[in-house]
Amino acid sequence: MNGNQHLFIPGPTNVPEPVRQAMNLPMEDMRAPDFGDFVTGLLSDLKRAYRMEGGRVFVFPSSGTGAWESAIQNTLRPGDKVLMSRFGQFSLLWVDMAERLGLDVEVIDVDWGKGVPVAEYAARLEADKGHEIKAVFATQNETATGVTSDIAGLRAALDAAGHPALLFVDGVSSIASIEFEMEKWGVDLAVSGSQKGFMLPAGLGILGVSDKALAANKALAGDGMARCYFSFEDMIKLNDTGYFPYTPATQLLRGLRVSLDMLLGAGMETVWARHRRLAEGVRAAVAAWEGCELVAQGPGWQSDTVSAIYVPDGVDAREVISGAYYKYQTSLGTGLNKLAGRAFRIGHLGSLNPVMLCGAISAAEMALVDAGAQITPGAGVAAAQAHYRDTTPSTLAASARAA
Amino acid sequence: MNGNQHLFIPGPTNVPEPVRQAMNLPMEDMRAPDFGDFVTGLLSDLKRAYRMEGGRVFVFPSSGTGAWESAIQNTLRPGDKVLMSRFGQFSLLWVDMAERLGLDVEVIDVDWGKGVPVAEYAARLEADKGHEIKAVFATQNETATGVTSDIAGLRAALDAAGHPALLFVDGVSSIASIEFEMEKWGVDLAVSGSQKGFMLPAGLGILGVSDKALAANKALAGDGMARCYFSFEDMIKLNDTGYFPYTPATQLLRGLRVSLDMLLGAGMETVWARHRRLAEGVRAAVAAWEGCELVAQGPGWQSDTVSAIYVPDGVDAREVISGAYYKYQTSLGTGLNKLAGRAFRIGHLGSLNPVMLCGAISAAEMALVDAGAQITPGAGVAAAQAHYRDTTPSTLAASARAA
Amino acid sequence: MNGNQHLFIPGPTNVPEPVRQAMNLPMEDMRAPDFGDFVTGLLSDLKRAYRMEGGRVFVFPSSGTGAWESAIQNTLRPGDKVLMSRFGQFSLLWVDMAERLGLDVEVIDVDWGKGVPVAEYAARLEADKGHEIKAVFATQNETATGVTSDIAGLRAALDAAGHPALLFVDGVSSIASIEFEMEKWGVDLAVSGSQKGFMLPAGLGILGVSDKALAANKALAGDGMARCYFSFEDMIKLNDTGYFPYTPATQLLRGLRVSLDMLLGAGMETVWARHRRLAEGVRAAVAAWEGCELVAQGPGWQSDTVSAIYVPDGVDAREVISGAYYKYQTSLGTGLNKLAGRAFRIGHLGSLNPVMLCGAISAAEMALVDAGAQITPGAGVAAAQAHYRDTTPSTLAASARAA
Amino acid sequence: MNGNQHLFIPGPTNVPEPVRQAMNLPMEDMRAPDFGDFVTGLLSDLKRAYRMEGGRVFVFPSSGTGAWESAIQNTLRPGDKVLMSRFGQFSLLWVDMAERLGLDVEVIDVDWGKGVPVAEYAARLEADKGHEIKAVFATQNETATGVTSDIAGLRAALDAAGHPALLFVDGVSSIASIEFEMEKWGVDLAVSGSQKGFMLPAGLGILGVSDKALAANKALAGDGMARCYFSFEDMIKLNDTGYFPYTPATQLLRGLRVSLDMLLGAGMETVWARHRRLAEGVRAAVAAWEGCELVAQGPGWQSDTVSAIYVPDGVDAREVISGAYYKYQTSLGTGLNKLAGRAFRIGHLGSLNPVMLCGAISAAEMALVDAGAQITPGAGVAAAQAHYRDTTPSTLAASARAA
């Protein structure tokens, strides 16, 4: 009776109506004779969203974290040396996992607000003449800070050094939202989840795997880290027939079918451009808020899927978030770890449009003012409006004129 | 993929999630032995929403227009004299129906922007010493112009004149949204529909009938206007057992059960106050738009469920509406009849909240500017924000503090 | 937790999952600029389901009873003489309506268990040299008794007599289920509803109108019976632009879009054949139940959408129905009017399949035995199984072999 | 249009309508301030369904296989000796996992058709004076063969031997369906999944953990098997605040809330009894099929959640399953591994009722006859009907009488 809840966290994202309709269904037999064809088509289209022709995409009943674990367990051995960088809560957690799974992690700590230090990686790869580094890890989009890194640049660094390390990418909050090119960029293991750009509920861990990574898995010959639930081998054997080694989340797979149809129907470039446009409106709003600032340190690092925003001095970001939630029915992202109290986040990925974001910005403005920020109410919305008006797709403008 | 459509027409309104969930159901047997108890409870609770203890409420599978027709057919005879007023598209259509159904309609035309002319009615009732006027009709909320009339005042006028005419009220866009008191105000026939304050899809015509109106129906003794589908007699006979004379729209009835639980659980006074608050925010925005003006001529006439807004001279309201629809995925109400091109409407009834309305206002601002209006972008949103911030319910503010 | 309710009444029928999904949606603007195209396509496809090229189909927010009323109000005048027959609860109610709406009804009463007496109609039409009979009414499928009448034969009788009377058909429980040919049979007004063969919830009254009936409407020139809600004139004016004179039940229209796609995609002949097959299995079961008998008096009258079944002497059909409902979660149709206590009904129309009907037959068997019937448990199911096995569509059998 | 698909596999099971409604929802913020209370209540009620007061229940976004893995990873060390038995596809897979995760598995192979060999376990435990066996594994319900084992007996054997080994139970297809007593039976790790007795889609791995098992986990002190996604430590830390270490499947959690309300509202004993009644009807049908036989070797092993059924000699069970699927829209369980072609399965757990099972039995009968089985059609249904009639709950019979 009190209207919609407004969801502007960087995932789970808003589920489009056609996807929601598709998931409103009775259960089905995951061993039915025609289920295999459905799965085969789905996995093949997932590859198109990942922009890859070779390799495979695995879909686990798990969160993205599970796909992280699968990527490591199936291609590396305990004690293998890997190169990682840490500049936010999620890159931090990935390092933690790598260590707990027994890797020898060389971590580069970076200021929160910047991303993967490509030059530094390049230097270390160059120096690693013995190719002791087995894998290089990069968080393409650090969800905690709203920072996007340069994966193409990282590939160039690997190539320049002639280094054979596997390239692991955390694309949980980037794939199917911002530019991602599995094959062109030579990514070997790319992790995502259902609840971000794929616009589904949480529950699927999605993992793109290159032919090179599959070869690395094969080279382990069943040896390496203990694994079973997330093992490539079991998954490959069953996926080849269109089935799964254990009960898949069929409801989400049916939803994924529709979301892939939407994404591929629009074209991935269009999807990426849409996210860019939405993000720029939010950044225009932030720029109009006195005393607020993006955590991302400069345009080169700004993410098109989530903005982390420092609140003005003297303001408690937790109060902004709590106020938005209780008073304005709006979920904003919290400041994680060292950003707690200092920043809040606006997720702007998935199924969204300018008016929804004007609502989000309004909610943030009201909550900021309530929390003591000296911003000009409406200023952010006005800035966002200007951007959205200026960037209206010409087809929509034409429809409006023709009506 | 492009986010939610935004619905800000004055009905159908946004369906709350619990209502939507309740309507996602298989069909059922409307003659099942336990269906009667369900219906009996539902009709009884509808009376609570109408604020009546005596009388009855009928629920027809129809739109509100059908309930208009039922009210007339079952209590009046062809040739009966009735007093009506006309000041917008819906009061106009009601007059048209009354004439087509054979009533002798005395129509008072009023400027669009004002409502029921109570003093004029009073004078005519006073003059009608022979009580030739059998019924007095009043559109409580003229949806086309955003004008609310004074039903309590009309009752007072009837009482002052000692006039026995039946009081018909069109409450389609007012009942379950703004103050309505069937029994306290002595309303005899009160029409509403499922798709407004009751927050359901269209499909139910709802008609409150006083004991006096039931007696008038009985006095016709089956005579009067030909009727069958909308006849009180058939409905009474079956409703008394908890059933219907023909197949009811069970899906909507199950939804109505939940929406009534929500409305009565909150309390009707709370529902009315909520609409007042939401409306005032929109009016604050309109006041901040240079050159725009409410169609309602002054605070006494302003509706809390819908605002009809004149666009500045030189701007075509159709372009605003079309632009909002195609470019900003936002449905605004059209200017009906003589308001076409000159006004657009924002519906602010049903399941809504401040952030949704900030979105609506943003959409209107963008579409207005696109159409050439010289307003200050963001000014309306800022004004609405200020109002919503100032009027945050204290319980919500307390929750936010405690979090 | 206790499994699905089983719905085997002759409407509302089971909603197919794709239709249910399509109706799980937010509300929309029924005046949106692109809504008109949607409506135009829908009305045009409804004509294909009615098997007509000329004329129109109207869709009212109402039950089928409302469409009955519309058909009469818009083409006849009070006092017009019409020929009707009565052989079950629904043909009886239609006569009642015709009388209440002021027609001069010549009623032929027929044994319940038979249908429209074509020879008797032929004789009366032949005798009516002055063409005083303005319309001939026929209930194609009497839902109360499970009796189907010969509409093509009736047309032949009209033609043989060279009689210009309009032909009204109640097709509520036949259209979109069993053979119906609006144009080939020269039907002028054909009533149906959403909740039967169209597999939707109740809430739409659907009325096919021939060009001849439209001319009859035009000839009234707004005169004739008082009408407004169900008036052709208002509907035509707005339908011509793709809109409606009052708020339509958009949710059901979106569902209808999908059910029409299903019906027309399969082909109406296939739909009719499917119903024939399902019905024959039920009739085989009834034949296997000692002491039970169809109300329909012989194969010529048996309906393919519903079977009304006399229970053995000494058994109370109400006990069968109540037992099925409470003990076996199965809704069977009640015996209406003079069939109360003597018969129950199994609806076998809409979205059903053999296994569902084996379930229904099982429920009936259990409830019959519980109520004292001396039938052989399982005998009906065995007979139905044999029929369904023998009539398995060859494409399904081929799929099974290929698997 | 062709009616419901019929799902009679041993999971995923049919989702009750209230659960389906609850899962038809927009996404939500899993870090919302009031989400924690929701989770805390949910986990606490899960313990009631598991029949435990101490310990914990973990809910992973995974299948039940993931919960198997978690149980092992978090309480045992590589090389630990464990005692397992193998008598069907799922107990076989569990052994395989244990071996791959590095355990030293002592496997007892048992005829498929029998279950956990309690006496044999007792002997080995008795002999293991040095307590080298760290854990004893038991598949309570072998889904592949329809065999239920005696967990209480196993506990007694452990106690008799004074053996401290942990007791692992695979309860995927038993918990929330048939008798299971975590605390009374001294179970230490009990695995289940959302898609069986909990009547939800697949996607949640559920793991009950005793205080003793938590202590074993703590004793590992972070050492033992590498683990991260399925680690107890991370889950405990976050669960204690009502949250999760990564994005949970909120849609399923909302559904689980409703299914727990249904289960606990009815009472677990009632749930178990309901499954017993449903199963006995199916077994009565199997007994009536000439040449068919349960895989379970005698009443002591028969499962109340699934029946695996040998087809008569000369009949190919794959043809039965394929025919049921394509010709009768009914999913039966396949014969897994060495049962392929020799047996099919009927799942009878979750949200079901007698009429649904009469439908399933009918489908099986038709498909059996089609595949060449010389059974008497209808015989199975008749036998099941007799059982269901005789065991109608008295409250339902009373309702039927009162109606």
Which pLDDT belongs to residue A1?
87
Work out the minimum CA distance from B297 to partner chain A, whole angstroms: 28
Q: Is the dihedral of CA D389, D395, D398, D402 positive or negative?
A: negative
What distances in angstroms separate CA A145 from CA A190, B72, C203, one per listed residue? 20, 65, 52
**Nearest Cα residue to D319 out of D344, D290, D285:** D344
Work out the minimum CA distance from C370 to partner chain D, whole angstroms: 8
Work out the mean pLDDT of chain C and round it to a whole number.
97
* Chain A touching partners, 3 or more CB pairs below 8 A: B, C, D
Per-residue pLDDT tens over the stretch C200-230: 999 999 999 999 999 999 999 878 999 999 9
**Which residues fall within 8 angstroms of residue B197, CB to CB, at 6 or more apart?**
B13, B173, B174, B175, B176, B177, B263, B271, B305, B349, B350
Contact A26 D7 (CB under 8 A): yes
Measured in whole angstroms, the distance separating CA B313 from the mean position of its chain's CA atoms is 30
Per-residue pLDDT tens over the stretch A106-156: 999 999 999 999 999 999 999 999 999 999 999 999 999 999 999 999 999
Distance, in Å, from the CA atom of C3 to the CA atom of C329, rounded to the nearest integer, reads: 9
Q: Choose between B221 and B240: higher pLDDT.
A: B240
Which pLDDT belongs to residue D353?
98
Distance, in Å, from the CA atom of C29 to the CA atom of C27, rounded to the nearest integer, reads: 7
Distance, in Å, from the CA atom of C207 to the CA atom of C69, rounded to the nearest integer, reads: 10
pLDDT for A41 beyond 90? yes
| Tokens, residue A59 | 């879909």
Query: What's the whole-number mean pLDDT along residues A194-202?
Result: 98
- Of all residues in chain C, the percent with pLDDT exceeding 90 is 98
Q: What's the burial of A17, exposed, middle or buried (CB within 10 Å: 0-12/13-18/19+)?
A: middle
pLDDT for D314 beyond 80? yes
pLDDT for C403 beyond 80? no
Query: What's the whole-number mean pLDDT along residues D65-92?
Result: 98
CB neighbours (10 Å) of residue D241?
10
Residue with token string 């010959």: A221
Q: Which 3-state string (H, E, C) describes C193-251? A: ECCCCCCCCCCEEEEEECHHHHHHHHHHCCCCCCCCCCCHHHHHHHHCCCCCCCCCCHH
- Taking only residues 338 to 377 of chain C, the set having a beta carbon closer than 8 angstroms to any beta carbon of chain D reads 351-356, 358-360, 362-363, 365-366, 369-370, 376-377
pLDDT for C240 beyond 80? yes
Contact A4 B400 (CB under 8 A): no
| Tokens, residue A71 | 């990527």
Query: Cβ contacts (< 8 Å) between C3 and chain D: which residues?
Result: 14, 16, 351-353, 355-356
Beta-strand ranges (E) seen in C62-151 are: 81-86, 104-109, 133-139, 141-142, 147-148
Which pLDDT belongs to residue B236?
98
Work out the minimum CA distance from D172 to partner chain A, whole angstroms: 12
Query: Cβ contacts (< 8 Å) between D24 and chain B: which residues?
Result: 20-21, 24
Mutation to test the C interface, candidates A24, A34, A257, A396, most C Cβ within 10 Å: A24
- Taking only residues 227 to 266 of chain D, the set having a beta carbon closer than 8 angstroms to any beta carbon of chain A reads 227-231, 245-252
Q: Measure the N-to-C terminal CA separation of chain C; round to a whole number of Å.
A: 33
Residue with token string 């307590």: D131
H or E segment to which residue B310 belongs: strand B306-310
Mutation to test the C interface, candidates D200, D353, D368, D387, most C Cβ within 10 Å: D353
**Which residues fall within 8 angstroms of residue A2, CB to CB, at 6 or more apart?**
A329, B16, B274, B351, B352, B353
Of D27, D100, D193, the CB nearest to A12: D27
pLDDT for C97 beyond 80? yes
Which pLDDT belongs to residue C242?
96
Contact A25 C33 (CB under 8 A): no
Work out the minimum CA distance from B389 to partner chain D, whole angstroms: 21
**Nearest Cα residue to D206 out of D170, D258, D161:** D170
- Taking only residues 5 to 24 of chain C, the set having a beta carbon closer than 8 angstroms to any beta carbon of chain D reads 6, 14, 16-17, 24
Contact (CB, 8 A) for B282 and B384: yes
Q: How does residue D402 score in pLDDT terms, banded at 50, 70 and 90? A: confident
Q: How does residue C402 score in pLDDT terms, banded at 50, 70 and 90? A: confident
Please report which residue ranges of C296-353 form alpha helices under DSSP H.
317-328
DSSP state of B353: -
pLDDT for D222 beyond 90? no
Longest dimension (CA), chain C: 67
Distance, in Å, from the CA atom of C205 to the CA atom of C249, rounded to the nearest integer, reads: 11
Distance, in Å, from the CA atom of B308 to the CA atom of C228, rounded to the nearest integer, reads: 27
Query: Cβ contacts (< 8 Å) between B22 and chain C: which residues?
Result: none
CB neighbours (10 Å) of residue A16?
21
Q: Is the peptide bond before D12 cis (omega within 30 degrees of 0)?
A: yes
Residue with token string 């002319």: B117
**Which residues fall within 8 angstroms of residue A220, CB to CB, at 6 or more apart?**
A74, A75, A77
- Taking only residues 152 to 181 of chain C, the set having a beta carbon closer than 8 angstroms to any beta carbon of chain B reads none
**Model ipTM?**
0.97
Contact C12 B28 (CB under 8 A): yes
Strand D133-139 and strand D56-61: the pairing is: unpaired
Which pLDDT belongs to residue A313?
97
CB-defined contacts A:C, below 8 A: 16
Which pLDDT belongs to residue A402?
84
Query: Cβ contacts (< 8 Å) between C359 and chain D: which residues?
Result: 355-356, 358-359, 362
- Closest B-chain CA to C101: B226
For residue D8, the SS3 value is strand
Query: Cβ contacts (< 8 Å) between A22 and chain C: which residues?
Result: 21
Please report which residue ranges of D211-295 form alpha helices under DSSP H.
211-220, 232-239, 250-266, 268-288
Cβ of residue C399 closer than 8 Å to a chain D Cβ: yes
CB-defined contacts C:D, below 8 A: 175
Query: Cβ contacts (< 8 Å) between B250 and chain D: which residues?
Result: none
Contact A355 B382 (CB under 8 A): no
Q: Count CA within 13 A, CB hemisphere, residue C48.
A: 18
Query: What's the whole-number mean pLDDT along residues C377-394?
Result: 97
Cβ of residue A3 closer than 8 Å to a chain C Cβ: no
Of C21, C26, C403, the CB nearest to A24: C21
Beta-strand ranges (E) seen in B96-184 are: 104-109, 133-139, 141-142, 147-148, 166-170
pLDDT for D403 beyond 80? no
CA dihedral D383, D385, D387, D390 (to 10 degrees): -140
Query: What's the whole-number mean pLDDT along residues A331-340?
Result: 97
**Nearest Cα residue to D170 out of D207, D220, D216:** D207
Per-residue pLDDT tens over the stretch B264-298: 999 999 999 999 999 999 999 999 999 999 999 99
For residue D152, the SS3 value is helix
Residue with token string 């099972």: D357
What distances in angstroms separate CA C162 from CA A348, C130, D281, one per listed residue? 72, 11, 63
Contact A403 C22 (CB under 8 A): no
Q: Is the peptide bond before B18 cis (omega within 30 degrees of 0)?
A: no
DSSP state of A253: H
Distance, in Å, from the CA atom of C319 to the CA atom of C333, rounded to the nearest integer, reads: 12
Contact (CB, 8 A) for D22 and D375: no
Q: Which 3-state string (H, E, C) describes D364-383? A: HHHHHHHCCCCCCCCHHHHH
Per-residue pLDDT tens over the stretch A58-81: 999 999 999 999 999 999 999 999
Contact (CB, 8 A) for A149 and A303: no
What distances in angstroms separate CA A354 from CA A381, A386, C106, one per listed residue? 10, 11, 65
Contact D248 A7 (CB under 8 A): no
- Taking only residues 33 to 72 of chain B, the set having a beta carbon closer than 8 angstroms to any beta carbon of chain D reads 33
Cβ of residue B130 closer than 8 Å to a chain D Cβ: no
- Closest A-chain CA to B354: A328
- Of all residues in chain A, the percent with pLDDT exceeding 70 is 100
Work out the mean pLDDT of chain D and round it to a whole number.
97
Which pLDDT belongs to residue A318?
98
pLDDT for D97 beyond 90? yes
pLDDT for A246 beyond 90? yes
Which pLDDT belongs to residue D1?
87
Per-residue pLDDT tens over the stretch C371-384: 999 999 999 999 99
Work out the minimum CA distance from A60 to partner chain B, whole angstroms: 23
Distance, in Å, from the CA atom of C18 to the CA atom of C41, rounded to the nearest integer, reads: 19
H or E segment to which residue B209 belongs: strand B204-209
H or E segment to which residue B151 belongs: helix B151-161
What distances in angstroms separate CA A88 from CA A43, A148, C355, D305, one per listed residue? 31, 11, 57, 48
Per-residue pLDDT tens over the stretch C99-129: 999 999 999 999 999 999 999 999 999 999 9
- Closest A-chain CA to C403: A33
Query: What's the whole-number mean pLDDT along residues B121-126?
Result: 98
Work out the minimum CA distance from C223 to partner chain B, whole angstroms: 10
Query: Cβ contacts (< 8 Å) between D227 and chain A: which residues?
Result: 100
